Amino acid sequence: MPEPVIGCLALQGCVDRHRPHIEAAGASFKAVKTAKQFDEIDAFILPGGESTTMLKLIENFDLWDILSQQFAAKPVWGICAGSILLAEIVENPAQKSFGVLPVTAIRNGYGRQLESEIIAVDGYDVSFIRAPILTKPASRVEILHTRNGEPTWIRDGKNMASTFHPELTFDFPSPMHSMFVEIVKKTATA
Amino acid sequence: MGENVINIKTGLAEMLKGGVIMDVVTAEQAKVAEDAGAVAVMALERVPSDIRKAGGVARMSPPELIEEIMAASSIPVMAKCRIGHFAEAQILQHIGVDYIDESEVLTPADEEYHINKHDFKVPFVCGAKNLGEALRRIGEGAALIRSKGEPGTGNIVEAVRHMRDINNDIKRVISADDAELMTMARDMGAPFELLRIVKREGRLPVPLFSAGGIATPADAALCMQLGADTVFVGSGIFKSDNPEKFAKAIVKATAHFDDPAIVLEASKELGGVAMRGTEISELDEPMKMANRGW
């Protein structure tokens, strides 16, 4: 089987930092912006950035329905802003979302930048940057890490979300990237 | 934390990549900016072109104005303090802004020293005209660099000059052999250890944004193609005919800066004309903001 191609939605945000992690985990990396490019990848990363900005650009370029279909068919991992876009419900304030993951996202749940910090998750340093809080996951959702009792890293079948950034750490690959590439490979053979 | 992870202050700058940071002077403008897709807003009392008109001393904005803009925004809020004015910076940190811009747009408070930004938990962005200046600011603790340009002019020429100068300096460092680096550090006035990082990584150790004179979607696309990770637009949006449409169009052009068909589309969606703009040679020497700081 050829290496799967993991695409990172590159309308705005932290994109290129994923490349070394994805390649070290045994997959190819591609930054994608257009519907044509979406057809050339096996899975999506929705990167960290500003969820409102990404939302406006997705709507402005009429990509909403196309991405909904893509997410139904392919594994997707939402990181920070990306996890907000994937949630079923968004609060603080409410905004449109794809509803791919049965969970509620509270934007800037820990506060502003002064509350941003680097924390070890399973022994690996990750960055929480104006991070959301995920809450009320459906019972089927697998909780992979929690902070103050709320999930920060979850998996639901082929989809994954993390409220933190493993891509800003220079040990390649991160455990999160490894797990996602595993999920993508299993989904491809299933 | 170890050396193995990007500093949390620079981490936020990584998240702002590929976006537009807009100057706003009211909570209503902050909403317009956010609705148009800004990645962050810069809370100001006056945009740079009005600072030029008003003359006198330009200081940190009133705290209650910054707080009002913070309350109205779900995206990061930045605010400016004067160069060297660490007491203004302490106030801004206490308010809880997400980024401080130690900015030449305001009247400098100290002609000798910039703020020691390592003393702060809040991240700082600083302006630079060339690599030496960028690395001096990073040495003092800046987590993000923006090319200075000439703010409030609607004239892109200085932003282009500074982006090209920074890029050309980086090319020289990359091709220098190790023995030449110390001489370069002396000539540029840049910290030697940071020059070594530039040589190894082939780029600045923090993201590089562009600022100072961006007034149209094409200006934004130009800066992005010259290597900017994100653009700051000051007077260019709220001094245009149609701020809402200008804001949206510049966001669109920035996201697809390398696709002329989309930048063209954005350029046709402006609903009015850009700010009038100023020829740099018309500026009196003291009003050349890029020359403030060192």
- Phi then psi for A79, rounded to 5 degrees? -115, 125
Instruction: Please report residues of B whose CB lies closer than 8 A to that of A52.
Output: 34, 37, 74-75
Beta strands (DSSP E) in A23-158 are: 28-32, 43-46, 76-79, 87-91, 101-106, 117-121, 124-128, 133-135, 142-147, 150-156
Indicate whether this complex's ipTM tops 0.90. yes
pLDDT band at residue B1, thresholds of 50, 70 and 90?
very low
Nearest CA in chain B to A131: B12
Q: What are the mean pLDDT values of chain A's consecutive 10-residue runs (190 residues total)?
A: 93 98 98 97 98 96 97 98 98 97 98 97 97 98 97 98 98 98 92
A115 touches chain B (CB under 8 A): no
Summarize pLDDT for B10-60 with one digit per residue, the tens: 999 999 999 999 999 999 999 999 999 999 999 999 999 999 999 899 999
| Contacts for B151 with CB less than 8 Å, ≥ 6 apart | B48, B104, B105, B211, B212, B213, B234, B235, B289
Q: Judge contact between A58 and A139, C-beta under 8 A.
A: no
Q: Judge contact between A135 and A147, C-beta under 8 A.
A: no
User: What number is the average pLDDT over the span B252-257?
Assistant: 98
Cα→Cα distances B60→B66, B234, B248, B277, Å: 10, 16, 28, 24
| Contacts for A63 with CB less than 8 Å, ≥ 6 apart | A35, A57
| pLDDT at B187 exceeding the cut of 80 | yes
| pLDDT at B3 exceeding the cut of 80 | no
State yes or no: is B31 an active-site residue: no
**How many beta-carbon pairs below 8 A join chains A and B?**
114
Instruction: Please report residues of B whose CB lies closer than 8 A to that of A111.
Output: 96
A83 touches chain B (CB under 8 A): no
| pLDDT at B275 exceeding the cut of 70 | yes
CB neighbours (10 Å) of residue B277?
Answer: 16
| pLDDT at B70 exceeding the cut of 80 | yes
Q: Judge contact between B122 and B92, C-beta under 8 A.
A: yes
Query: pLDDT averaged over chain B?
Result: 96
pLDDT band at residue B286, thresholds of 50, 70 and 90?
confident
Cα dihedral B195→B228→B17→B101 (10° resolution): 70
Summarize pLDDT for B191-250 with one digit per residue, the tens: 999 999 999 999 999 999 999 999 999 999 999 999 999 999 989 999 999 999 999 999
Domains and CATH numbers, chain A: 5-189 (3.40.50.880)
Instruction: Please report residues of A whose CB lies closer than 8 A to that of B4.
Output: 125, 169-171
- Phi then psi for B65, rounded to 5 degrees? -65, -45
Q: Which of A167, A168, A169 to mutate to test the interface with B (most CBs of B within 10 A)?
A: A168
